[in-house]
Amino acid sequence: MGRRIAATGVAWNAVPFAASYTFELRDAQGNLVAPLKNQPGTSFDPQTPLKPGQYTLCVYSNFANLSSNWSLTYAFEMFRPPLTITSSATDTVDATPTIIWTAANGAAAYEVIVTPAGSSAPVYVRTGITGTSHRIDVPLRNGKHLIQVRAIFPDGSRSSLSTAQQIFIGRHQA
């Protein structure tokens, strides 16, 4: 089942011949956010936008004389706004650079992720950072790296990952 997820609501694909839909939208603690029965449309738009956090959505279709099984549970997350990395993106020979970013009001901790350019597999991840700077404590290999930061809040919600900052470690070959 295809879905649209946004802070302003959720939607799913129509099922042929369905008369209505029943869905469960639950928060990370398992609380029902919006249980509706026999809703004719394929979307739900809450009175107030969904708060940052983790959610699950299940839907079943109601036909004239029967109902389908529940869909697979779809887990999704609403993120808080991203942080901004403020440290220099200047090329460096320092394989353990210090990363600095803007503070997120109310954040309990931060996470730093470093990925080699052209890869999707991080080579460095640190969580539980309590300040707004972090010195990479494992030397990075020479080459281009993408650095991202996110905030983690006491309620378990997270910010989106920051825009990736590119940094080059080592000397450029002439």
pLDDT of 2 above 70 = no
111, 117, 118, 124 alpha-carbon torsion, rounded to 10°:
-40
Number of domains composing the chain: 2
Residue 84 covered by a domain: no
Mean pLDDT of 115-140: 96
pLDDT at position 7: 65
Pick the last residue of a domain from 49, 78, 107. Answer: 78
Domain that holds residue 42: 3-78
The Cα–Cα gap between 5 and 73 comes to: 14
The Cα–Cα gap between 121 and 88 comes to: 23
Residue 89 covered by a domain: no
3-state secondary structure of 82: coil
Pick the last residue of a domain from 78, 107, 141. Answer: 78
Note the pTM of the prediction, 2 decimals.
0.81
Query: pLDDT tens digits for 63-86?
Result: 999 999 999 998 999 999 999 999
